[in-house]
Structure 1
């Protein structure tokens, strides 16, 4: 298959200069001048020659403290072994590290003994334990595991093009008889809950708000699209990581707020016939429609 991605935004994502102009118009009476950074985002196929270390960094961020349980080098190699499926987002050309990525892996194909990919078997066992609904589906269904992550300061507008291109790439792959006839998609992501801080404020002891098991640990999403995808899923799960962390870890992740932040894993299972509608839902939500 030929390379398909444009090096420029396929959905005309407004750049920072346009947003800056609007901000200048809105704040024309302000006494302070704002410096705007003009950034052009570029979409590429995964590049085996340059993306290995960048993908490992993003995978480590995606799997959080449990990243140490998996062979991330092998997982990055698997992603790079299918360079015409999935996307990376960069800002300084193809030879730089990705700031975001999205791909899909066939759990059945990669865990087959002849493929010799222990990391997929480890990941499948891990996810089945975190989401027991998955286990009975694995022997009879084709599950596509969607892995996606981005740096925290990346605008969410980069997400719809990645999902749109993934849909197109899967269709092209199917035309060439490649093993991507999925019955379900399993989206692995992260969420968090807010928990009582262990640190006292400067003027008062730790707040007693949000007792009752931290207000039942309301779930918040690092990626806003996950809340949309969940609406189209047949099921979802929020799970604790296996790796223990220090008592003050949640406080180390808070920023200018009273409560600590406790990251967790998040899974959404979507039937293949609902996936295109889910992508359209993400596009509408993130594009403000």
Structure 2
């Protein structure tokens, strides 16, 4: 396995007592530290190459995206680790003393950022499962873009990449900018080496929710688990949703669990030209700098 690459990324992580992310649970539920709940904790993060010891952490993040879908997240994790030169896992920065210890088994994975080639890898079982999931859900959620989406997905010449940007819900959206920038650099390097990462289109599957008002039954606008994905949604060429309410998404925040409003968990599929990635990153920089 290649040695880890690291890129320090600072950020504040809000500790929310209603979150099920599993982040800092010892702090959240400590009898002596209850006053820390709903406070902010300063945490530094670093990006590392995915490695074998990250297997369980990566799989956990994939499961929160795919839930009970027929996608083998174990094999998908193996694929991600096998192409560790593309993308990164997000971990808490280690101290200088920890740097002397090469054992990373105890490091928790807070996020995963990578791209999978759905065209070049179409014969691999887990990729076949993702392609079937997208095709099946697209047919079940017909829009005027259905034919265009499926045509792009199934094109043998114009490769499509699945852009995975998963993290625990308490990780701030500002972390997305350096993560996407690092991923973009990895893709450019891979293309210069003639590897199969030249994409015509990219697909993202976002965790979203829609509140159904109890008095009228009308649905409000989409809410995004990862706030920066709302901007990506606005810049996408094709978008559509499918419900995962029967799978009971456990990654909920307190503001979406109001007793008077029922949140319907969805997955929002977004497809955009790969040439837009740089523009999306610049937009994210501009918008997140306002917050």
* TM-score normalised by the chain length of structure 1: 0.76
C-alpha separation in 1, matches of 2:178 and 2:260: 36
Deviates further, 267-276 or 91-100: 91-100
Shift of 1:252: 10
Number of paired residues?
A: 245
Shift of 1:244: 3.0
Kindly indicate whether the alpha-carbon contact (under 8 Å) linking 2:90 and 2:110 is maintained by their aligned counterparts in 1: yes
Kindly indicate whether the alpha-carbon contact (under 8 Å) linking 2:59 and 2:73 is maintained by their aligned counterparts in 1: yes
C-alpha separation in 2, matches of 1:226 and 1:36: 23
Change (3 A) 1:76 1:281: same
Match for residue 113 of structure 2?
102
Shift of 1:189: 1.4
C-alpha separation in 1, matches of 2:276 and 2:257: 37
Shift of 1:233: 1.4
Question: Could you say which structure has the higher strand fraction?
Answer: 2
Shift of 1:36: 6.0
Match for residue 135 of structure 1?
150
Match for residue 8 of structure 2?
8
Match for residue 111 of structure 1?
122
- Superposed CA RMSD in Å reads 2.8
* TM-score normalised by the chain length of structure 2: 0.75
Q: Are 2:229 and 1:233 equivalent residues in the alignment?
A: no
Q: Are 2:55 and 1:52 equivalent residues in the alignment?
A: yes
Spell out, residue by residue over 1:84-128, the C-alpha distance to the aligned partner (whole angstroms, 9 max, x if none).
Answer: 10111111545412111111000111113xxxx211011111112
Q: How does 1:215-254 map to 2 (within 5 A)?
A: 215-241=218-244, 244-245=246-247, 254=256
C-alpha separation in 2, matches of 1:63 and 1:111: 18
Q: Are 2:44 and 1:40 equivalent residues in the alignment?
A: yes
C-alpha separation in 1, matches of 2:284 and 2:269: 16
Q: Which stretches in structure 2 are left out of the alignment for 5+ residues?
A: 14-34, 95-103, 139-145
Q: Secondary structure at the match of 2:239?
A: strand
